[in-house]
Amino acid sequence: MNLKKNNPFLFLIIAAAVGLIAHKVISHFIIPSEFEADFIYSTPLLYGIFGGLSLVIIYLLAKVKETLPNSVGYAFLALTTVKMVMAYALLRPIIAVHLPKTPFEKMNLFAVFIYFLAIETILTIRILNNKQ
């Protein structure tokens, strides 16, 4: 991988850490603490899951760029679809429970998913624009 100049993995890790801190600060004011304590998936766990998936996706996109540079966009779409299926699998237990905390937990999961999707999109654009 010739991505040393703009290391996407370092960017992803820093963005995840900054996002987690900002998310915890914002959710402190929006989500009641008793709801957050009862979440099926804690916010750091969600950041770990989606951060790990994003690292795998960016790694695979960099490998695709080396072998098939014209297929990076298709690979991004395919990998994002797989990630969406995994996010739905995480969402199913939340949907099954009908408690007052459920809307907050859904919002929490979708916020993390969309945040990492935005990061992956930015990094994919950088990979596509990277001259070999």
- Report the C-alpha gap between 132 and 128 in whole angstroms: 10
- DSSP class per residue in 13-35: HHHHHHHHHHHHHHHHHHS-HHH
Q: Is the torsion defined by CA of 122, 128, 131, 132 positive or negative?
A: positive
The pLDDT confidence band at residue 7, using thresholds 50, 70 and 90, is confident
- In the chain, how long is the greatest CA-to-CA distance? 52
State mean pLDDT over 41-46: 92
Mean pLDDT over the full length of the chain: 89
In Å, what is the CA distance from 105 to each residue of 53, 96, 127? 20, 12, 33
Q: Where are the domains of the chain?
A: 8-129
Q: Residue 10 has what pLDDT?
A: 93
The pLDDT confidence band at residue 131, using thresholds 50, 70 and 90, is low
Q: Residue 98 has what pLDDT?
A: 82
Count of beta carbons in the 10 Å neighbourhood of residue 81: 10
Tens-digit pLDDT profile for residues 66-121: 999 889 999 999 999 999 999 999 999 988 888 888 888 888 899 999 999 999 99
